[in-house]
Amino acid sequence: MNCKKYPGTMDVRMNPVSPHIESLSRQLTSELAEVETRFTAELVSDVDCVNELVRHLERYRGKMLRPMLVFLAAQAAKPDQPIREEHRVIATTVELIHMASLVHDDILDEAELRRRGKTVNALRGNETAVMLGDYLFSHAYHLCSSLDSQPTARIIARAANTVCEGELLQLANRDNWSLDEETYMQIIHRKTAALVGVSCDLGARFADADPQMREDLKCYGELIGMAFQIADDVLDLTGDVATVGKSLGKDLEKGKLTLPLIRRMETAHRVEHQQLLDLLRADRLGNAERIAELVADSDAMDYTRRRAQRLVDQAKALVEALPDSPAKKAMDEVADRVIDRKF
Amino acid sequence: MNCKKYPGTMDVRMNPVSPHIESLSRQLTSELAEVETRFTAELVSDVDCVNELVRHLERYRGKMLRPMLVFLAAQAAKPDQPIREEHRVIATTVELIHMASLVHDDILDEAELRRRGKTVNALRGNETAVMLGDYLFSHAYHLCSSLDSQPTARIIARAANTVCEGELLQLANRDNWSLDEETYMQIIHRKTAALVGVSCDLGARFADADPQMREDLKCYGELIGMAFQIADDVLDLTGDVATVGKSLGKDLEKGKLTLPLIRRMETAHRVEHQQLLDLLRADRLGNAERIAELVADSDAMDYTRRRAQRLVDQAKALVEALPDSPAKKAMDEVADRVIDRKF
């Protein structure tokens, strides 16, 4: 199993700027710790080797954006209501699903294995990673079914369906150097944004938010999810290794065209376009640095930043319409932070 | 994706021997056709490439043992009650889960890829297979959540957890030529028998069977599930290619020790034991035929057959205790058929 720490996980620690925010911050820290506890408890097995493998998931742990949004959406919808048991269960469920997709994302296909020339690692590679991911998924549903809410289970399953569709659409467009922006947005909406949106939606649902507020919060989640993915894609292509802390060009290696390069290709003169195509076809990974330079030396980066910023602004506008509360302020901050990563 | 037709799927067509059986047979054929329809409908996506991939699942289609057992258990529990909507949903759900596990079983790890020297196939190999399997799983839960029964969802999710545990336990025992029979039984109980048991259990549940009857039918399912897996493992090691219709030695290639070989190793004299070990370590696949010969030329095959027969007999005894009905008779036949495959 290729166990690199998941890149680009959002650092969404909020800076306490007021007692209310500080109080919220403490509460969230406590709730997230509880999510971590339940996450671990859900995965305990009476099969020793399974427990051993689960321990290896440490490297995938992030800042729990999705669980945090469950709680924030609940509090932003109804600031005076306490977090409920359902919120904790849902928060843990979405994190399990997210973790499962990270594990499955790490599956290497034959071409990559051959290119990398890796030996079978101690965790027995792909097959174990597949089963471990499946284990996480089935436990997500197992946990989710402890709620007395079939509609919620349906919403969560639907979100998982959508993630799969996004990943399959992305796979189908491997090595498609003519990938258009519309399809790219479709891909990231499904594979990343949908689950973030559902986290907000369900947080609001179990705070008894009215339908409009639920819809707004769901939208907020989807918008920042898309912005986050765009920022992540930019970092992969042109980021600073020291900052990002992972090897770059992973998307290029996988034949994944992302927004900066899509834009560059779409707006390039015939000669430049051909130049880029030649670089990509000849040695996508070896030429990654050169390709990144050509992208940086164009309006493609500005375009991408503006695109992401617009999504964040739309998200913030939705939150702005909510009644004032520390959670509302926090969600406003979170929206800014999803793209504030040396972007 | 390595798309070989799934081997060893049970041929459980029943021979009509009486008008009642014939009537049941017709009813089952109709119900299974409905399951197929719902299976297809559940997987429809608005993403074209997803639909295209789903079409490739044709090659995995079997005889729908698990759906059939949902219906048979229901009818055996309450012969005068009609099949319900819940039965159809559950039957489709367990088939989706089964199909997903078949797709994921086909993921090849690095060692196998290198051994086989396969080129990337048209379906883009492992990553697509992972996502397609995930798509099937998430749709299983999506469908299951349409039932107004959280306990049922929990039972199904738990079964899926168990399948994963079985597969992981099996993976952890790769190349373990000292695998003992107890652990082997643990593996097959989890990875194969559990889901068959749950199919029977839920069929009975939604026929309002009393707890004892549910338990008996669940047990029946687990017992024939184990017997089926043992028969499948025997065929893989020593089967006739023409009969089985697939390449043999797949288990050996994966370093999987199964019951005939476990028994052979456990009862071998020191010299024979060393001989087998040497053959396995040197070239497990190349020596498969020789290894199979050594197994056949011993009491290991008889021992294995008796083991499987005992499980079948136990299953039949449980069904015998049910009130007479065509379904009861059918379940008795099914139990015989799981091991009646040139075994």
Of A148, A163, A171, the CB nearest to B124: A171
pLDDT for residue A117 is more than 50: no
Mean of pLDDT values over A197-214: 97
Q: How far does A129 lie from chain B, in Å, by closest CA?
A: 10
Check CB contact under 8 Å for B134 and A160: yes
Q: How confident is the model at residue A8 (pLDDT cuts 50, 70, 90)?
A: very low
What are the tens digits of pLDDT across the range A269-299?
999 999 999 999 998 888 988 999 999 888 9
**Whole-number pLDDT of residue A9:** 37
Return d(Cα A222, Cα A247) in angstroms, integer.
Answer: 27
Q: How far does A329 lie from chain B, in Å, by closest CA?
A: 35
What are the tens digits of pLDDT across the range B13-62?
444 446 777 889 999 999 999 999 999 999 999 999 999 999 988 877 77
Q: What is the mean pLDDT of chain B?
A: 88
Query: Which has the closest alpha carbon to B127: A151, A267, A253?
Result: A253
Highest-pLDDT range among A245-249, A335-339, B108-112, B295-299: A335-339
Touching A: B residues 10-69, CB under 8 Å = 45, 47, 49-50, 53
Return d(Cα B261, Cα B1) in angstroms, integer.
Answer: 29
For residues A197 and A169, the answer to whether their CB atoms sit within 8 Å is: no
| Residue B149 buriedness (CB in 10 A; 0-12 / 13-18 / 19+) | buried
Mean of pLDDT values over A56-63: 81
Mean of pLDDT values over A249-278: 93
Q: How far does A123 lie from chain B, in Å, by closest CA?
A: 9
What letters, b where the CB count within 10 A reaches 16 and e where it falls short, cover A263-301? bbbeebeeeeeeebeebbeeebbebbeebbebbeebebb
Token digits for B338? Answer: 């799981």
| Residue A120 buriedness (CB in 10 A; 0-12 / 13-18 / 19+) | middle
Rg of chain B over CA atoms, in angstroms?
20
Q: How confident is the model at residue A56 (pLDDT cuts 50, 70, 90)?
A: confident
Touching B: A residues 129-168, CB under 8 Å = 130-135, 137-139, 141-142, 144-151, 153-154, 157-158, 160-161, 163-165, 167-168
**Whole-number pLDDT of residue A116:** 56
pLDDT for residue B75 is more than 80: yes
pLDDT for residue A249 is more than 60: yes
Return d(Cα A26, Cα A22) in angstroms, integer.
Answer: 6
**Whole-number pLDDT of residue B113:** 57
Q: What is the mean pLDDT of chain A?
A: 88
Return d(Cα B312, Cα B289) in angstroms, integer.
Answer: 29
Of A108, A127, A138, the CB nearest to B171: A127
pLDDT for residue B68 is more than 90: yes
Highest-pLDDT range among A117-126, B5-14, B241-250: B241-250
Return d(Cα A111, Cα B119) in angstroms, integer.
Answer: 8
Q: Higher model confidence: residue B289 or residue B154?
A: B154
Check CB contact under 8 Å for B138 and A120: no
What are the tens digits of pLDDT across the range A120-147?
333 457 888 999 999 999 999 999 999 9
CATH architecture of A20-337: Orthogonal Bundle (1.10)
- C-beta atoms surrounding B276 within 10 Å: 20
**Whole-number pLDDT of residue A242:** 62
Q: How confident is the model at residue A62 (pLDDT cuts 50, 70, 90)?
A: confident
- C-beta atoms surrounding A42 within 10 Å: 18
Check CB contact under 8 Å for A107 and B107: yes
Angle at Cα A227 formed by Cα A223 and Cα A228, nearest 5°? Answer: 115
Return d(Cα A230, Cα B195) in angstroms, integer.
Answer: 41
Range in A14-18, A77-81, B165-169 with the lowest mean pLDDT:
A14-18
Return d(Cα A93, Cα B207) in angstroms, integer.
Answer: 31
**Whole-number pLDDT of residue A60:** 79
User: Which of A47, A52, A53, A104 would you mutate first to test chain B, the one with the most B CBs within 10 A?
Assistant: A47
Touching A: B residues 224-243, CB under 8 Å = none
pLDDT for residue A315 is more than 60: yes
**Whole-number pLDDT of residue A7:** 39
Contacts with A186 from chain B: Cβ below 8 Å: 47
Touching A: B residues 313-332, CB under 8 Å = none
Query: Which has the closest alpha carbon to B20: B57, B101, B75?
Result: B75
Tell me the percentage of chain B whose pLDDT exceeds 90.
Answer: 72
Mean of pLDDT values over B271-296: 91
Interface A:B, Cβ pairs < 8 A:
191
Q: Decide if B123 touches A, using CB distance below 8 A.
A: no
Tell me the percentage of chain A whose pLDDT exceeds 70.
Answer: 87
What are the tens digits of pLDDT across the range B314-327?
999 999 999 999 99
Return d(Cα B292, Cα B238) in angstroms, integer.
Answer: 6
ipTM confidence: 0.89
Return d(Cα A13, Cα A23) in angstroms, integer.
Answer: 13
Return d(Cα B222, Cα B225) in angstroms, integer.
Answer: 5
* pTM, rounded to two decimals: 0.90
Phi, psi of A177 (to 5 degrees): -80, 0
Q: How far does A306 lie from chain B, in Å, by closest CA?
A: 28
Query: Which has the closest alpha carbon to B331: B188, B190, B199?
Result: B199
For residues B172 and B255, the answer to whether their CB atoms sit within 8 Å is: no
**Whole-number pLDDT of residue A54:** 93
* SS3 assignment, position B178: coil
What are the tens digits of pLDDT across the range B111-152?
565 555 443 333 457 888 999 999 999 999 999 999 989 999
| Residue A181 buriedness (CB in 10 A; 0-12 / 13-18 / 19+) | middle
| Size of chain A in residues | 343
Q: How confident is the model at residue A15 (pLDDT cuts 50, 70, 90)?
A: very low
